[in-house]
Every structure is written in C-alpha cells, then in structure tokens.
Amino acid sequence: MKIEWLKRPFDSVFTKLIVVMLISGSLLVIGIIAVSWHGFRESQKNFFRNNLAQYGSYLVSDLQSNTNIAHARDLSEQLLLIIRYEGKDSTWQTGTGIPPLQKVRFRKWSESSASTFGSHSQSEKSAVTNVRYGRYRGQGVVTVDTNGGRFIFAESDKWHEMHLGIPWILTILGITGLILTLTWLTMRWIMKPINWLSEGVTALGDGNLEHRLPEKRGDELGKLARAFNRMTESLREMISARERLLLDVSHELRSPLTRMKVALEFVPENKSRESLLGDVQEMEQMVTEILETARLKSEHGQLELQTVDLKLLIQEVCSAFEGKIPGILFEKDSKEYLVRIDVEQIQTVLKNILVNALKYSSPGNNPVEVRLRKDDSGYKIEIQDHGQGIPEDELDLIFEPFYRVDKSRTKSTGGYGLGLSLCKTIIEAHGGRIAVQSKPGEGATFCISLPDSALIVT
C-alpha cells in the first residue's frame, strides 16, 4: 500500500519531467564542480595559502613592532581572532577559547608560504622559523614560531556567528523551491494540450462526438489537437451518414412490408405462407427498433411517463415467460417501488434482456434470477443468467447497433443485434445506465440503474 502511495505522484508526466530535469541538472552541476575541483585544486590551494601567508606576515610584523596588549586586543576585535603570544620575557592573550595545542591536528605550511612570512621579518629576532595550521572541533588554529617567541591565532566565537548557516540554507532552499515551482508551471503550460487530449478521448469514448479541443497552440501538441478535432468530425459525419441511411431505408421498407403482409392474407395457409409471414414480421420488428432508437435519440423524442410500481411491472413481464426453460426466479417483497417511467419502453428493455438470458441458458442451468433493490442513487434491477456468458473483450461492444456475440446470424440464434442497443437508448433516455458483467461459462449479469430524478418520493 505504501509503495502504491509513493508511486502515485509519478503517474503524472509533469512530475516525471521535473524529476528528470532535476536529476540531470544536479548531475551536470556535480560534474562541473568535480572537474573544476580536480583541475584547479592545487593552484587554488597555493593561491589562498600565499594570500593567507601574506596577510599573516603583516599581522606578525605589526604585533612584533607594537607588542602592547591594548593594540593586540584592538586587532582581535577587528579581525574576530583570539591572539596569544608566548615569549621569553612575557606571555599574554586577548581572550579565552584557544584549544589545547596538543589536541590540534597540525599540518605544516608549504615552504613557499613559510618564506613569505620570513620575507617581512625586520630583524633576526623576528625571523619566522615555523608555521603550522590545523583545526580542532571546527575551530581553525595557526601557530607562527619566531626567534623571539610564538604567536597563536584562533577563530573566535564571533567568527562562527558570521557564517549565518541556517539563513543561507533557507535562502537556497527557497530559491530552489521557487525555481522548481516556476519550472513545473511552465512545463504544465507546455504540456496542457495532453490534458485536453485526455479529456477529448474520454468524451469520445462516452459517445460525445461534439467535443472539440482548443486550437490555441502552434507547436506539435497544437497540431495533435487539430488532428484530433478533424478525426472527431470525420467520425461524427460517418456515424450521422450511417444513421441517416438506416432511417431512410427503414422508412422506405415500411410500405412494401405492409403490402406484403396484406398480400399474404390472401395466400392459402401452408408452411410457405407461415415462413414468409415470420420473415416479414421479423423485418418489421427490426425496422421498428431502428426507428424507435432514432426517435429516442432525437431532441423531439419524448417518453410517455407515468407512475407505476416497478415491482409489479417486473412481475408482469416475468409471468409472460412462464414455462420457458430453465425458468425465471424473481425475488419479491411487500414494499412498493413507485417510479415515473415510460412503461412500454421499460417493458421492451426487460423483455429483450430476458429473451437473451433464456436463449443463452441451457436446460440444466439454474433459473434466471431477477432482483430489484433501492439504494441512495435510485433503483437497481439485476438480471442474472447462468448460461454460456460473454467473452471479456466483447463486453463493451454488445450495446453497439448490429453487434452480436454469435456471428452466425442464423434464425435459431436470434435477430440482428439491435435489441441491446435499443435497451441502452431507452435507459439513457430515462437518465439511467445499463451495464453488464460476465465471464465465459459462468453466465452474465445485466444491471439497470434508474436515478433519483426518475423516482417518486413516498
């Protein structure tokens, strides 16, 4: 669970890009510093040592020429140093805080730097004989031995206060945070068309072919947005053309079908007449389903709503299949489930799903189960069979017009794949949803949801 929580921020493309930039920038800085440090370390060392030696030589010369304690204290205050002098005739120091010299890890000064100290000696008595530098618990210490005595210089506490470590660290962190925030905002703006594209794909998957992406950018992502809009427009035109063709053909078929039915009434009863009459009725049903689907999708299509007890309606539909194998089991209770719906349309939905449930169940299967319940969002109708089931890769396709799981399209396996498409259109016209769950060999469960907006509150 913790690993998933840590992975969640990296689901964002922006976060990944920022992390890559941060790592790349850090490695670049580290590489430059490493090369610089390796290439100029010795020259920098000599430069600072020589300058510090020059500074120290002036300081020693000044103290030797003016050895009173008052002058030494003035220098100590100005330079933030603790100064101690150990001579043959006198010993003094400007303050406390010099660590024990035996505990300091000293390093001998380079010959060139030591000679700088010696070059400013004014007499044999002040000649420098040894210079050492070391640290003890973070405190720097320098000892300068002369023929006349020893000078010890140590960093005072005020020197450490001048470092201002925490404010500098906070300042660096603040600047780094500001740079990262500006970088994130800039990259978010650059990659914004990806969010638009994600929303567009979601809308397209939900069937909204009117959704368009903003075309405000001239870069590659802007071109991608324009290509997506052209693709959506082409899809909308193709689907509209297909629907117009179906409607036109369906309208044109109604008249010849009616004439065929009238003509068949004058044909003597025989097997051929019954077969032809069945074909005509099947075609008429298909035309009716196509036209009804188009009517409900039209802005002028209206539902004939009335208040009914949904439990009694389901019971009435189930009773029409009495005697069908393997049978239908409806769980009833004494409650009233009042809802405002188009009764005829909901009957069509229930009949279509029950016909499929019985058709794809074997005689040895358990009965088809119908359940009705109410939750916070509305009413749920579940129809579960125990038949052959639906392949997982076809679950999202069975509500499409003319799609059938059984591709044989023989009379024994049913119609033309319009029933479930009509069911979806009817339920969505009521403001609800229809979904299916299935595993091959374990049957299928259709779930019909009617929202609160369709309910009568009692």
The per-residue pLDDT for 458 is 37
pLDDT digit string, tens, across residues 243-291: 676 666 666 677 777 788 778 787 888 877 788 887 777 777 777 766 6
Q: Which two tokens stand for residue 313?
A: 């309606």
Residue 430 near residue 452 (C-beta atoms within 8 A): no
The per-residue pLDDT for 445 is 92
Mean pLDDT, range 127-156, rounded to an integer? 80
CA 369 from chain centre, in angstroms, equals 40
Q: CA-CA distance, 419 to 288, in Å (whole number)?
A: 11
Cβ atoms within 10 Å, residue 148: 17
By CB atoms closer than 10 A (0-12, 13-18, 19+), residue 307 is exposed
Mean pLDDT, range 188-206, rounded to an integer? 81
pLDDT digit string, tens, across residues 398-440: 887 766 666 554 555 555 567 788 888 888 888 899 999 998 8
Q: What are phi and psi of 260, to 5 degrees?
A: -65, -40
**Which pLDDT band, with edges at 50, 70 and 90, does 118 fall under?**
low
If DSSP codes are grouped into helix, strand and coil, which group holds residue 128?
strand
Closest to 131 in 3D by CA, of 152, 148, 105: 152
Q: CA-CA distance, 323 to 97, in Å (whole number)?
A: 106
Q: Does domain 220-297 have CATH number 1.10.287.130?
A: yes
Q: What percent of the chain has pLDDT over 90?
A: 8
Q: CA-CA distance, 307 to 338, in Å (whole number)?
A: 7
Q: Are strands 128-136 and 105-108 parallel, antiparallel or unpaired?
A: antiparallel
DSSP string, 64-90: HH---HHHHHHHHHHHTEEEEEEESS-
- Is 50 exceeded by the pLDDT of residue 382? yes
Instruction: Print burial letters for 116-128: b (CB count within 10 Å at least 16), e (below 16).
Output: bbeebbeeeebeb
Question: Is cis: bond before 256, omega within 30 of 0?
Answer: no
Average pLDDT in the chain: 76
Query: What's the N-to-C CA distance of the chain in angstroms?
Result: 44
- Is 70 exceeded by the pLDDT of residue 360? yes
The per-residue pLDDT for 300 is 47
The per-residue pLDDT for 38 is 61
Q: CA-CA distance, 204 to 195, in Å (whole number)?
A: 14
Q: CA-CA distance, 396 to 314, in Å (whole number)?
A: 26
Mean pLDDT, range 41-55, rounded to an integer? 57
**Which pLDDT band, with edges at 50, 70 and 90, does 217 fall under?**
confident
Instruction: Print burial letters for 197-221: b (CB count within 10 Å at least 16), e (below 16).
Output: beebeebbeeeebebebeeebeeeb
pLDDT digit string, tens, across residues 296-308: 665 545 778 888 9
The per-residue pLDDT for 80 is 78
| Architecture of the domain delimited by 306-454 | 2-Layer Sandwich (3.30)
Mean pLDDT, range 371-397, rounded to an integer? 87
Give start and end residues of each alpha helix (H) in 384-443: 419-429
Mean pLDDT, range 214-232, rounded to an integer? 82
The per-residue pLDDT for 324 is 86
Q: CA-CA distance, 176 to 159, in Å (whole number)?
A: 28
Four-residue CA torsion sign, 214, 218, 224, 227: positive
- Is 80 exceeded by the pLDDT of residue 60? no
Q: Could you tell me the residue ranges of all domains in the chain?
A: 2-165, 220-297, 306-454
Q: Say what the pTM is.
A: 0.48
Mean pLDDT, range 237-242, rounded to an integer? 76
**Which pLDDT band, with edges at 50, 70 and 90, does 124 fall under?**
low
- Is 80 exceeded by the pLDDT of residue 349? yes
The per-residue pLDDT for 385 is 92
Instruction: Print burial letters for 78-111: b (CB count within 10 Å at least 16), e (below 16).
Output: eeebbbbbeeeeeeebbeeebeebeebebeebee
The per-residue pLDDT for 363 is 84
**Which pLDDT band, with edges at 50, 70 and 90, does 454 fall under?**
very low
- Is 50 exceeded by the pLDDT of residue 107? yes
- Is 60 exceeded by the pLDDT of residue 46? no
Q: CA-CA distance, 309 to 305, in Å (whole number)?
A: 13
The per-residue pLDDT for 391 is 86
Q: Are strands 368-375 and 328-330 parallel, antiparallel or unpaired?
A: parallel
CA distances from 421 to 220, 225, 294 (A): 39, 31, 11
Check residues 300 and 207 and name the one with the higher pLDDT: 207
Q: CA-CA distance, 247 to 245, in Å (whole number)?
A: 5
Closest to 444 in 3D by CA, of 391, 374, 381, 377: 391
Q: Which two tokens stand for residue 142?
A: 């320098």
By CB atoms closer than 10 A (0-12, 13-18, 19+), residue 143 is buried
Indicate the range of 2-16, 18-32, 57-71, 423-437 predicted with least confidence: 2-16
Residue 430 near residue 448 (C-beta atoms within 8 A): no
CA 123 from chain centre, in angstroms, equals 78
